[in-house]
Amino acid sequence: MSNVDQTVVESFGKEWRRFDYSLGMCSDMEPVFRSYFAIFPWDQLPTKAVGFDLGCGTGRWASFVAPRVGLLYCIDPSIDALEVARHNLRTASNCSFNCASVDEIPLPDRSADFGYSLGVLHHVPDTQEGIRACALKLKPGAPLLIYLYYAFDNRPRWFCMIWKGADYARRVISLLPFTLRARICDFIAIFVYWPFARIAKQLEKFNVDVGDFPLSAYRDRSFYFMRTDSLDRFGARIEKRFTRKQIGDMMENAGFERIVFSESPCWCAVGYRRVDLP
């Protein structure tokens, strides 16, 4: 059975058309890229490394990765997303664009020097199988960087209760027609994301610890970024969340070792394909 949900794919295709992250549209990308890739072993990659960006979306991460490597396969199951990525990366001659799902990664097994998939595999029917599919394409010892939504396992109970209420809202909103869904998510960005983020920013100026303050992660983000994430979080019909242990276990089961986690964002992890993996 294919490890992809076409309704989710179509939704993200429309999302990336709406928020295309073309040059100059958002100032947040570089600091967010640095936070995701803070644990990535750039110094261990071979010269002219070949790798893949699974679920490349608009190509917003590929735009930072491509100049550092030899060849980057930008892979996404959405034709709409790939068209946006192709436009945004039109000056990057070392990018190959491929319309494929996680179970159809168009690379030979054991061929890639690295891979990454950020904010993608929690939106597929079987996340474990998605991680395993990535492992098969990597050379022995090659790194994979992933980011999965975390299950608030490092947050207080009241924080988790707030999320449960938000998740009920997501389940309803994600069933609506895209245009209405996008408008509601903009409303959430205006009246929830933006004020909470700005309150957290002001509290931080008074040396208040805002680590557990709702949406404090957006205190230095643009409104464009908030609108995107609001639609991303409330508009997807499939959304899974995992504890740090669950992510570690899935990576180990998929054939990765030496797994390292980043605390921010939670939980971003890098692991290396085992040499003895068939």
pLDDT tens digits along 113-165: 999 999 999 999 999 999 999 999 999 999 999 999 999 998 999 999 999 99
Please indicate, yes or no, whether residues 134 and 96 belong to a single structural domain of this protein: yes
Assigned domain for 54 exists: yes
CATH of the domain at 102: 3.40.50.150
Specify the 3-state DSSP secondary structure of 92. Answer: coil
Assigned domain for 222 exists: yes
CB half-sphere exposure, 8, CA atoms < 13 A: 23
Assigned domain for 114 exists: yes
User: For the chain, what's the residue count?
Assistant: 278
d(CA 106, CA 58): 19
Please indicate, yes or no, whether residues 31 and 166 belong to a single structural domain of this protein: no
d(CA 221, CA 217): 8
The H-or-E segment that residue 34 falls in is helix 29-36
Please indicate, yes or no, whether residues 129 and 229 belong to a single structural domain of this protein: no
Please indicate, yes or no, whether residues 60 and 196 belong to a single structural domain of this protein: no
pLDDT in single tens digits along all 278 residues of the chain: 689 999 999 999 999 999 999 865 667 899 999 999 999 999 999 999 999 999 999 999 999 999 999 999 999 999 999 999 999 999 999 999 999 999 999 999 999 999 999 999 999 999 999 999 999 999 999 999 999 999 999 899 999 999 999 999 999 999 999 999 999 999 999 999 999 999 999 999 999 999 999 999 999 999 999 999 999 999 999 999 999 999 999 999 999 999 999 988 888 999 999 999 87
pTM for this structure? 0.95
The H-or-E segment that residue 80 falls in is helix 79-88
Assigned domain for 254 exists: yes
Please indicate, yes or no, whether residues 98 and 16 belong to a single structural domain of this protein: yes
Q: In what order do the strands lie in the sheet with 71-76?
A: 95-99, 71-76, 50-54, 114-118, 143-147, 268-273, 256-262
- Residue 272: CB atoms within 10 A of its CB come to 22
Assigned domain for 1 exists: no
Please indicate, yes or no, whether residues 248 and 120 belong to a single structural domain of this protein: yes
Chain centre to alpha carbon of residue 31: 15
- CB 139 within 8 Å of CB 252: no
Please indicate, yes or no, whether residues 144 and 268 belong to a single structural domain of this protein: yes
How many independent structural domains does the chain possess?
A: 2
* Cα dihedral 274, 141, 74, 264 in deg (nearest 10): 80
∠ CA 165-10-96, rounded to 5°: 120
Please indicate, yes or no, whether residues 145 and 254 belong to a single structural domain of this protein: yes
| Token code pair at residue 175 | 């069933």
- CB 86 within 8 Å of CB 108: no
Q: Give residue 194's domain range.
A: 157-235
Amino acid identity, position 138: L
Assigned domain for 250 exists: yes
Assigned domain for 278 exists: no
